[in-house]
Amino acid sequence: MVLLEAATPDLAPDALARMSIGQRDAWLLSLRESRFGPRVTGIVTCRACQEQIEVDFDIRQVRASPPASTAPLSVSQCGYRVDFRLPGTGDIEPSIHDGDVEATRRALFERCVVSAHRDGREVSAASVPPRVVDAVEARMGAADPQADIRLTLTCSECASAWAVTFDIATFLWSEVEASARRTLLEVHTLASAYGWREADILALSPPRRRFYLEAVTP
């Protein structure tokens, strides 16, 4: 949300918090594509043979369709009927129970329940049994596929295949962090060599900055 607020000032912060995770991640994928291009490369360790394998894909390959509507969804199972909405970023933090994945999952479920009924009578979200929660979770995933990007990797050495989750929020954050550190180092190099102010160095176009950097670094 910090990245999106900085990059898209037109989006109100509360609108960002209400977006489903998939809608938010679609914005993050677009932001990544506009700032760093569509190709994603990385190194992953094979789970079977520990070989380092290269991962390389295009952002467009992991694009999924957005949720069909923002109206609440509904699941009927085991005599229960649960109406719920898709979770958004604003639901995550209040649901977190440190180190307890199951409690976090349950809290997130309860936050997203609009109403729950058993045999036609209203019941609390807390009383909904785990298998109905599982069904709701599966429906959430199917309705908002962009929220859960899975990549199937195949090791070039031992041919074993496995699935990994690609979290665009964590990935882009680390890229922005690395890029910021690189920029500060460039400012440091040019300021030390020429005595220029930080603001003036940042105002240089990228080709000019690169020219001066090449001129001062052996």
- Which chain residues interact with Zn ion by CB under 5 A? 46, 48-49, 51, 155, 157-158
Between 44 and 59, name the residue whose CB sits nearer to Zn ion: 44
Cβ 50 to Zn ion, closest distance in Å? 7
For the CB of residue 6, give the shortest distance to Zn ion in the complex, in Å. 39
The position carrying tokens 């699935």 is: 163
> Given the complex with Zn ion, which of 162 and 211 has the nearer CB atom?
162
Distance of CA 104 to CAs 34, 35, 47, 132, 213, Å? 34, 33, 27, 17, 48
- Check if the beta carbon of residue 151 is closer than 8 Å to that of residue 163: yes
Q: State how far the Cα of 43 lies from the Cα of 196, in Å rounded to an integer.
A: 38
**Residue closer to Zn ion (CB basis): 49 or 178:** 49
| For Zn ion, the closer CB: 65 or 154 | 154
Closest approach of Zn ion to the CB of residue 42, in Å? 16
Q: How far is the CB of 161 from Zn ion (least distance, A)?
A: 10
Alpha carbon distance, N-terminus to C-terminus of the chain: 40
